[in-house]
Amino acid sequence: MTAVGQITQVMGPVLDVKFGAGTLPSIYNALKVSNPAISDVEGNLTIEVAQHLGENTVRCIAMDTTEGLARGMDVTDTGGPIAIPVGPEVLGRIMNVIGEPVDELGPIGNTQTKSIHRAAPDFTAMSTEIQ
C-alpha cells in the first residue's frame, strides 16, 4: 500500500509532510506531489525525505519550485529513492537531478535506472586510461 501524507509547512524549497502512524517514509525516499504552478500533470514535483522530525513528520527538499503548494495537499511516497537512467544511452545527454532530459533531444531510450545515492565505485573498478 502506498503511503500518503499531507503537507504541514512550506519554507522555500523545504517542506514538512505528516504521514499516518506506521507509514513514515525512509530517509532519501522520493515523494510525489502535484504542483499546479509547474503543470497540470499529476505528481509533477519530486521531493526527497531529508530528516525525520518525529510525530510521523518528515522534512523534505523539493527538486523544483514550491510556489503553488499549500498546507493539506496530498503527498505520495514512491517507496524508493530518486533514480536516474544509466547506461550507454545517457552518454552525452544532459539530465536534471530526477533524471529527466533537459537537452531537448527527446526521451532517453533506457529503462534501467539507479539511485542517485549509490556509493561511488571502488577505485580499482575505475578505468585509468586517458580518454
Is the full-model pTM beyond 0.75?
A: yes
Query: What residues does each domain of the chain span?
Result: 4-81, 82-121
Per-residue pLDDT band for 124 (boundaries 50, 70, 90) equals: confident
Distance CA 103, CA 93 (A): 7
Q: What is the pLDDT of residues 5-41, one digit of tens each?
A: 999 999 999 999 999 999 999 999 999 999 999 999 9
CATH 2.40.10.170 for domain 4-81, yes or no, is yes
Is there a contact between 72 and 6 (Cβ–Cβ < 8 Å)? yes
Query: pLDDT tens for residues 38-97?
Result: 999 999 999 999 999 999 999 999 999 999 999 999 999 999 999 999 999 999 999 999
- The predicted structure's pLDDT at residue 49: 98
49-59: per-residue pLDDT in tens? 999 999 999 99
